[in-house]
């Protein structure tokens, strides 16, 4: 997957800066071939230059090469051979040999250049393949980095949410601790008030108990006195009862005696009334 040109033009601040290597085709310069200098002409083959009036026969003149421009192997080389209408056969032979050597050299150079070009193209293809692989790798790395950043962002958001919840819990716990402290203070205050009230009630109860005990003692003394008075009254009543019983007995005896006396008196009166 390659990065589009519009997206690649805008650098992503979240990704590291990546610089792709530049690929430049190697420049190939044809090597200059210095042809060997022609050997000096032998005396046997040399012939005098023909005069214009004495031209060679057509068969011999047809063997000489036609006029040709100067053959240059490279830009910095001088002319190797120049054909002229009046050159002899040796010069033509050496010129043809030179042209053949130049043609062979150019063919060899062309073959070498083709091989070098093929190698260069293969290297360029390899580099382009490596560049594509590098781009794919960088895309994958960028995707991994983005995934890692998204994951880190999600974890950071989750951590922030947890920290917010923890802060809320800490705040609620602080409120609860303050409420518990206030309740503990109120409980201690109520306990102190209760203890004070209990002490007051105990003191009042003790005082009441002492008062009741005093009253009980007084009542007990009064009861003992009343019991003594009652016993004295009972004794007096017993004495009075005994006295009354004795008086009754005496009265009964006196009444009986009076009845007997009255009976005797009546008998006496009855006796006296009879003649």
Listed by start position, the domains of the chain span 106-224
Residue 129: pLDDT above 80? yes
pLDDT at 27: 52
Residue 43: HSE in the Cβ half-sphere, 13 Å Cα cutoff: 0
Residue 155 token pair: 């974890």
Residue 176: pLDDT above 50? yes
Quote the percentage of the chain above a pLDDT of 90: 11
Residue 154: pLDDT above 70? yes
Distance CA 103, CA 97 (A): 10
Q: How many helices (H) and strands (E) does the chain have?
A: 3, 0
pLDDT digits (tens, 9 = 90+) for 249-275: 888 888 888 888 888 887 877 777 765
Residue 144 token pair: 């991994």
Residue 209 token pair: 């108990």
CB within 8 Å of 4: residues ≥ 6 apart: none
Mean pLDDT of 105-111: 73
Is 18:138 a contact under the CB 8 Å cutoff?
yes
CB within 8 Å of 109: residues ≥ 6 apart: 30, 31, 33
Place of tokens 């054909």: 83
Distance CA 233, CA 237 (A): 6
pLDDT at 72: 43
Distance CA 107, CA 102 (A): 8
pLDDT at 83: 43
Mean pLDDT of 217-241: 84
Mean pLDDT of 68-93: 48
pLDDT at 8: 45
Residue 47: pLDDT above 60? no
């Amino acid at each position: 997957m390659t990065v589009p040109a519009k997206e690649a033009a805008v650098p992503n601040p979240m990704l590291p800066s990546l610089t792709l290597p530049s690929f430049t085709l190697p420049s190939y310069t044809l090597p200059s071939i210095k042809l060997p200098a022609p050997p000096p002409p032998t005396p046997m083959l040399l012939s005098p230059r023909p005069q214009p009036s004495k031209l060679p026969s057509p068969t011999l003149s047809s063997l000489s090469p036609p006029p040709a421009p100067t053959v240059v192997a490279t830009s910095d080389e001088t002319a190797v051979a120049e054909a002229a209408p009046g050159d002899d056969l040796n010069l033509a032979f050496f010129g043809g040999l030179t042209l053949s050597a130049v043609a062979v050299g150019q063919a060899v150079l062309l073959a070498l250049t083709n091989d070098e070009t093929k190698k260069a193209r293969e290297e360029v293809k390899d580099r382009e393949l490596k560049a594509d692989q590098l781009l794919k790798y960088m895309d994958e790395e960028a995707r991994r980095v983005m995934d890692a950043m998204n994951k880190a962002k999600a974890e950071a958001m989750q951590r922030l949410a947890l920290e917010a919840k923890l802060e809320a819990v800490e705040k609620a716990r602080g409120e609860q601790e303050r409420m518990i402290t206030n309740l503990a203070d109120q409980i201690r205050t109520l306990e102190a008030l209760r203890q004070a009230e209990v002490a007051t009630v105990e003191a009042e109860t003790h005082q009441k108990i002492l008062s009741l005990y005093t009253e009980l003692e007084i009542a007990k003394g009064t009861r003992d006195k009343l019991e003594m008075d009652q016993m004295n009254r009972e004794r007096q009543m017993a004495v009075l009862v005994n006295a009354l019983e004795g008086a009754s007995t005496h009265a009964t005896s006196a009444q009986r005696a009076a009845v007997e006396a009255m009976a005797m008196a009546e008998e006496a009166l009855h006796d006296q009334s009879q003649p």
